[in-house]
């Protein structure tokens, strides 16, 4: 006699319905568009910089405001407190992100063409892992920049954790850090994938309970 667990495991091999397949294809669009927008923006304001300084972090590059000059200006200011320069080379933990995003797009396309419920679970876990890992590494990089200060710097300050989301006063600079459209578009993809997966799991659980009740 089939039980609830047997029915549920069989449901995992059920092919995705056509609406779910089309939704997966549509979700690939914001994921690919995230390449064109910055993931995060860090900006600074002070009396001597009334217009502020800003830099945008993309999945594959670092872009400064004012025609790229703001990054050099920010690094010059950071040099006085002993912080190492913020360059694309220093942000090497981002090197894997374009490959991770491309892999998710390919896996989503595969799921849309050939996938079943089990494939959606795999895709959801990968999307969650990449998102959490990317944010975790970003936090670690910020911590390293704020704590690994040169003790011989011209200005000595206590090690600090740079602001992640929101604003924070550091010396006479008010720093801002906020996610940008690249992160939002990645979030749309992840939420959409998890939404499809959870709906199928809920439906499968309900149907398997119904089968078990009918046979009980």
pLDDT (tens digit, 9 = 90+) per residue, 134-150? 889 889 988 998 999 98
Q: What's the pTM value of the predicted model, to 2 decimals?
A: 0.85
Domain that holds residue 87: 4-208
pLDDT at 152: 87
Q: Is residue 110 one of the residues assigned to a domain?
A: yes
Taking only the tens place, the pLDDT of each residue in 88-98 is: 777 777 788 88
Q: What percent of the chain has pLDDT over 70?
A: 91
pLDDT at 172: 79
Please answer whether residues 110 and 119 qualify as being in contact, where contact means their C-beta atoms are separated by less than 8 angstroms. yes
Average model confidence (pLDDT) for the chain?
A: 87
pLDDT over threshold 70, residue 162 = yes
Question: At 134, which helix (H) or strand (E)?
Answer: helix 117-147
- Residue 57 backbone dihedrals phi, psi, to 5 degrees: -105, 115
Give the position of tokens 């011989």. Answer: 152
Q: Is residue 150 one of the residues assigned to a domain?
A: yes
State the DSSP code for 15: B
Please answer whether residues 50 and 148 qualify as being in contact, where contact means their C-beta atoms are separated by less than 8 angstroms. no
Tokens matching residue 139: 């936090």
Q: Is residue 214 one of the residues assigned to a domain?
A: no
Domain count, the chain: 1
Q: Is residue 213 one of the residues assigned to a domain?
A: no
């Amino acid at each position: 006699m089939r039980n609830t667990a047997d029915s549920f495991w069989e449901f995992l091999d059920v092919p995705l319905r056509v609406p779910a397949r089309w939704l997966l294809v549509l979700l690939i669009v914001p994921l690919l568009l995230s390449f064109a927008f910055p993931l995060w923006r860090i900006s600074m304001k002070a009396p001597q910089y009334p217009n502020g300084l800003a830099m945008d972090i993309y999945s594959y590059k670092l872009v400064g405001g004012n025609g790229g000059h703001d990054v050099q200006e920010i690094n010059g200011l950071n040099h006085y407190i002993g912080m190492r320069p913020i360059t694309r080379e220093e942000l090497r933990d981002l090197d894997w992100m374009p490959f991770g995003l491309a892999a998710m797009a390919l896996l989503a396309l595969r799921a849309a063409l050939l996938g079943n419920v089990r494939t959606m679970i795999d895709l959801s876990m990968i999307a969650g892992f990449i998102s959490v890992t990317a944010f975790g590494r970003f936090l670690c990089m910020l911590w390293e920049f704020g704590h690994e200060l040169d003790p011989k710097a011209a200005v000595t300050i206590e090690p600090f954790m740079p602001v992640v989301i929101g604003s924070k006063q550091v010396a006479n600079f008010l720093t801002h850090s906020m996610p940008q459209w690249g992160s939002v578009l990645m979030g749309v993809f992840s939420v959409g994938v998890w939404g499809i997966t959870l709906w199928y799991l809920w439906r499968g659980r309900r149907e398997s309970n119904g089968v078990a009740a009918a046979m009980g």
